[in-house]
Amino acid sequence: MASAPPLSSDNANNADSTGNANESGNGSNGDSGHRAGSTRRAPWHAFVPLWLMCAPAFLLFAALVLIPLAMTLVLTFYRFDPASGPIAAFQFGNYAEVLTSSYFHTIFLRTFGIAFVTTLLCVVIGTPEAYVLSRMRDPWRSLFLLVILAPLLVSVVVRAFGWSMLLNPGGLVNQAFALVGLGPYKLEYTTFAIVIALVHVMLPFMVIPVWTALQKLDPQTENAALSLMASPATTLRRIVLPQLTPGILSGSLMVFGLSASAFAIPGLLGGRRLKVAATAVYDEFLSSLNWPLGATIAVLLLIANLIVMLTYYRLLERRYARSMG
């Protein structure tokens, strides 16, 4: 095989000059790219402190929540004079009146009793409903999800009025009882009416968190349990339910808090006789004009609600941690 002829001195000089030109060209391109990168400006938010970016949201939160709450708290220490109205003072007479009166004890017990029963029924009804919804396939899943969320598009007052039409002495429920020779029953202006309407209103707030928790559940864990000869009931109790605890916890806290502070449904379906804390606050502010006492009831309702919800959260969180090992 013939070997390649050696390069002449002229060719070598040309190659060296070409290499040097390429290197100088690459170097100049790198320098120009470096200069272009160095002249590129950083985004404007890189120069703004994080606290300054959060300031508008914090100011809005303070204006709508913190300041009214602080004003309500200050109002609880005022003294009420029937002739001149609230008088600026610093005394605990309003708290003593609420905490020592059996009338207000009954109101608070009724309020939290209704909230507890409503939450329990929402858990019992909403958890299986969310489980069935998670096992559906489109388009049925979208259709039933729309049915669950549709009540949120209707005003609470309209839904309460609809339940009033159903449960009054001449309503459809008593007419159905009359067809089988029963009734009429007094269903309107009862605790039963308040609970039924609250369950109808609050059920989506239970279904959605549980359904979201089910989306994170790996179906293979259920299949593995079934392949190990576990019964469906055992699989549901030992595998599915422990992983649903965060969703049930979130839904329960929302339902309990909203039910304890509900006003429209207890006001329309409970009447003047079955008062809860929210309607008692309304009466003190607009009927008796005793704003300090109404503010005291509202603050105590908020404190009691927070205590109950935090206690429930701690207990359920501890049980969830124990079940997950």
pLDDT-based confidence at residue 9 (cuts at 50, 70, 90): very low
Count of CB atoms situated within 10 Å of the CB of 260: 24
Domain extent listing, the chain = 78-323
Determine the Cα angle at 257 with ends 256 and 260, to 5°.
Answer: 80
The secondary element (H helix, E strand) that includes residue 155 is none
Q: Which CATH architecture has domain 78-323?
A: Orthogonal Bundle (1.10)
Q: What is the pTM of this model?
A: 0.78
For 91, left (φ over 0), alpha (ψ -120 to 50), or beta?
Answer: beta
- For residue 37, the model assigns a pLDDT of 47
Model confidence pLDDT, tens digit, residues 221-233: 777 777 777 777 7
Model confidence pLDDT, tens digit, residues 125-158: 999 888 888 888 878 888 888 888 887 888 888 9
- For residue 99, the model assigns a pLDDT of 94
Considering the chain, what percentage of its residues have pLDDT values greater than 90?
A: 35
**Averaged over 114-130, what is the pLDDT?**
93
| Chain Cα centroid distance, residue 280 | 25
Model confidence pLDDT, tens digit, residues 68-82: 999 999 999 999 988
Count of CB atoms situated within 10 Å of the CB of 121: 18
